[in-house]
Structure 1
Amino acid sequence: MKSTTRVQLSLMMFLEFFIWGGWFVTLGTFLNDNLQASGGQSASVFSTQSWGAIIAPFIIGLIADRFVNAEKILGVLHLAGAVLMYQMYNAASIEVFYPYVLSYMILYMPTIALVNSVSFNQMKDPEKEFSLIRVFGTIGWIVAGLIISFVFHWDSEQSRAEGLLRNTFLMSSIASLALGLFSFTLPKTPPKGKGEKVSLGKIIGLDALKLLKDKNFAIFFISSILICIPLAFYYQNANSFLSNSGVSNPTGKMTIGQASEVIFLLLLPLFFKKYGFKKTILVGMLAWAVRYALFAYGNAGELSFMLIIGIALHGICYDFFFVSGYIYTDSKAGEKYKSAAQGLITLATYGVGMLIGFEVAGMITDKYTLADGSHDYKMIWLIPSAIAAVVFLVFAVLFKQEKEIKATV
């Protein structure tokens, strides 16, 4: 790969995830402070990510894979996203905000697959080259959080009281505009499926449903959906929890989670090779239960280290479960169903699983909202901790150890 192309792809990844990290991390706090949203209303807003994940395959399968160059549709989607993000910045109520965020996520979620497509199209050895490009996406997410906390201090108590947290949408709107324009300069990535017949089953991965006949894969599939319930609690409540608990620079400190994600992604092949798939994924499940217990009993004072450890566990939570899951799915699918299987597991987790998770998180948040508007965060965190523990036990008992699976991360 030419060095200029590598720089282009790295900048593309940086901006792609800078945009997402620039507003999504603080969304729960913004909804609570600026729009006075209830737990149920917040759940509806966060669920737009799931609806975006469900609809994304149709945009990719019906348009990007058949008619339009990936870099061009990427540019159009981000330019439209910049407009929608600016409208979110101006929204004064949850009723006005919701249609814009729903429209935005329907347009944004397909761009994740598009940036991958543009990248893979330029690579001769994706297994070695892709991670070096994708890591700039994580760096972009981290930089966005650091800017919010340590440069502009939008998540400080005073700034939140002044309504300045809404500036995160303006920042992301500008970044989306930049990426939209920049996309048209990216290497040409013509549609791969031009002229091919396409079916609904192929688009959303239903061709891979026959894999569920394998008992182990079926247990993994169901566990993947269930573990997304506690995951949704983190996205929806973590930033507002840290902010309301008195943690300084909460958004910046949450970037510790992305830093640990990079570290454990590098360690994953070693762990995978030594302990195998079952033990690796069990560690990931257990990490969810432990981190929420730490959140439940930690505080911003003498027990603040518990909150920091909980944030840092994000790398194990995500990499050891989700990345391991992608590897396992790839190994079970075989050449014929590789793409379909990955599409199915993505639909199950970020689509169905997260949709259920956000709904449950919203109900629990409302149930443990006190009369003065504060929250009983101890119970809000202990419940997903218990759910993760149950999923851990079910998987440990029912999933049978298989022969070693090659880690390709």
Structure 2
Amino acid sequence: MPISIRLKLSLMMFLQFFIWGAWFVTMGTYLSQRFSASGAQMGMAYETQSIGAIIAPFIIGLIADRYFAAQKILALLHLVGAALLFSAAYSGSFSSFYPYILLYMVVYMPTLALVNAISFRQLAEKTAQFAHIRVLGTVGWITAGLLIGWFGWEGSQNLQFTFMLAAGASLALGVFSLTLPDTPPQATQQRPTIRQLLGLDALALLKDRAYLVFFLASVLICIPLAFYYQNANLYLNDLGISGAAAKMSLGQMSEIAFMLLLPLFLRRYGIKATLLVGMLAWVLRYVLFAYGNSGEQVWMLFFGILLHGICYDFFFVSGQIYTEQKAGREIKAAAQGLITLATYGVGMLLGFRLAGYITDLHHLDSGYQWWQIWLIPAGIAALVLVVFVLSFPKQRRLPV
């Protein structure tokens, strides 16, 4: 691949995830500081991600894949997104903020598939080369967190600037997308059915007991996952941890390291052990958050953040690999679409609803009862782990 194209794709990935990381991590803190938002309102704001994930297949499958070049619709969506983020930054109340962020996630979530499509069309060795391009996305997310910490917006209660920063990056990516390699619709593509868009052709996989157990566990483990996205930054700021967003970027740094270890672990110990380690990490992370503090137990908080690499890679990434291995050639794309819809759509939607309810339930005049809030997702993750251990049959090691 020409170096100029590699650099363009890498910058595209960097900006794509920089935009998301610039506001998503600290949104709960922003809503609490700016609007004194309730847990239910924070849950509503975060569940817009799930709504966007549910709608995204229709935008991609019915519009982008048939009528427009991918780079052009990517440009349009990011330019519209920039306007929505600027509007969100100047909202004076939660009721005016919510419609902007809901519309934003509806236009942002489809861009995740678009940047992948643009990248894969240019890659000769898709498996090996894509990892080198995609890692720049994680670097972008990390950079956003470090910048927020460097500017000190959390401590000065100026987190509206995160939306302006994201809007500026979205504007830049919108314009830059027009310079990306041309990625026209595949001329041979037929109009997809609703069943194909939702990945329902992959439901046949659920006849396999092992995959059914994994599928249900994936949906359920997203419930405790939502607690982290919604509450972690608010929690750290509530404890007085300075530069919380920057410190949370340590989790993405560990994600890069454990991504490199994942294939080795899968080869040596197999898929069941890998998934179990991922779920166990979720339990441990929330227990550490429950009993950590900004004093002598501050190490618990940092250890919990660093567990992100295991939490995400050993369950979600290994699950994507497992799905790829289990699906036949005809339904590989449908299978990935189905697991994404089930987890980021249904699972996290339920998770954000529950996280909002639990947060409100443990919010007193004296503040949040954080140890009780964190023990609930720890318990849910532990329950999912136990059921998984008892139900998932022994599997041969994957040829990763």
User: What TM-score comes out, normalization by structure 1 length?
Assistant: 0.97
| Whole-Å separation in 2 of the counterparts to 1:43 and 1:21 | 18
> What residue in structure 2 maps to residue 230 of structure 1?
224
Please say if residues 219 and 399 of structure 1, whose CA atoms lie closer than 8 Å, have aligned partners that are also in contact.
yes
> What residue in structure 2 maps to residue 117 of structure 1?
117
User: What TM-score comes out, normalization by structure 2 length?
Assistant: 0.99
SS at match of 2:122: coil
Runs of 4+ residues over 4 Å off in structure 1: none
| Whole-Å separation in 1 of the counterparts to 2:103 and 2:325 | 35
1:100-141 CA deviation, whole Å, 9 max, x = no partner?
A: 000000000000000000000000001110010001000000
2:382 maps to which of 350, 364, 389: 389
1:5-404 aligned at under 5 Å gives the runs 5-150=5-150, 152-156=151-155, 159-160=156-157, 164-192=158-186, 196-372=190-366, 374-404=367-397
SS at match of 1:124: coil
| Whole-Å separation in 2 of the counterparts to 1:329 and 1:189 | 27
Deviation at 1:197, TM superposition (A): 2.7
Deviation at 1:204, TM superposition (A): 1.2
* AA of the residue aligned to 2:225: L
* AA of the residue aligned to 1:317: C
1:274-312 CA deviation, whole Å, 9 max, x = no partner?
A: 100000000000000000000000001111100000000
Please say if residues 66 and 191 of structure 1, whose CA atoms lie closer than 8 Å, have aligned partners that are also in contact.
yes
Query: Unaligned stretches of 5+ in structure 1?
Result: none
SS at match of 2:146: helix
Deviation at 1:193, TM superposition (A): 5.8
Q: How many residues align?
A: 400
* AA of the residue aligned to 1:188: D
| Whole-Å separation in 1 of the counterparts to 2:322 and 2:168 | 38
Please say if residues 77 and 174 of structure 2, whose CA atoms lie closer than 8 Å, have aligned partners that are also in contact.
yes
* AA of the residue aligned to 1:395: F
| Whole-Å separation in 2 of the counterparts to 1:192 and 1:266 | 33
Please say if residues 65 and 194 of structure 1, whose CA atoms lie closer than 8 Å, have aligned partners that are also in contact.
no
RMSD: 0.8
Deviation at 1:397, TM superposition (A): 0.8
1:122-164 CA deviation, whole Å, 9 max, x = no partner?
A: 00001110010001000000000000001x11012xx11xxx1
SS at match of 1:34: helix
SS at match of 2:328: helix
Are residue 406 (structure 1) and residue 391 (structure 2) matched?
A: no
1:329-381 CA deviation, whole Å, 9 max, x = no partner?
A: 11111101100000000000000000000001001000000124x10000110
1:256-279 CA deviation, whole Å, 9 max, x = no partner?
A: 000000000000001111100000
Query: Unaligned stretches of 5+ in structure 2?
Result: none
Residues 269 and 195 (structure 1 numbering): CA distance in 2 closer, same or farther, change over 3 Å?
A: closer
Residues 268 and 369 (structure 1 numbering): CA distance in 2 closer, same or farther, change over 3 Å?
A: same
1:33-86 CA deviation, whole Å, 9 max, x = no partner?
A: 111111111111100000000000000000111110000000000000000000
| Whole-Å separation in 2 of the counterparts to 1:352 and 1:378 | 27
| Whole-Å separation in 2 of the counterparts to 1:192 and 1:398 | 42
| Whole-Å separation in 1 of the counterparts to 2:238 and 2:36 | 14
| Whole-Å separation in 1 of the counterparts to 2:349 and 2:191 | 30
Deviation at 1:95, TM superposition (A): 0.2
Deviation at 1:192, TM superposition (A): 2.1
SS at match of 1:301: coil
Please say if residues 87 and 100 of structure 2, whose CA atoms lie closer than 8 Å, have aligned partners that are also in contact.
yes
* AA of the residue aligned to 2:90: N
Deviation at 1:194, TM superposition (A): 5.4
SS at match of 2:47: helix
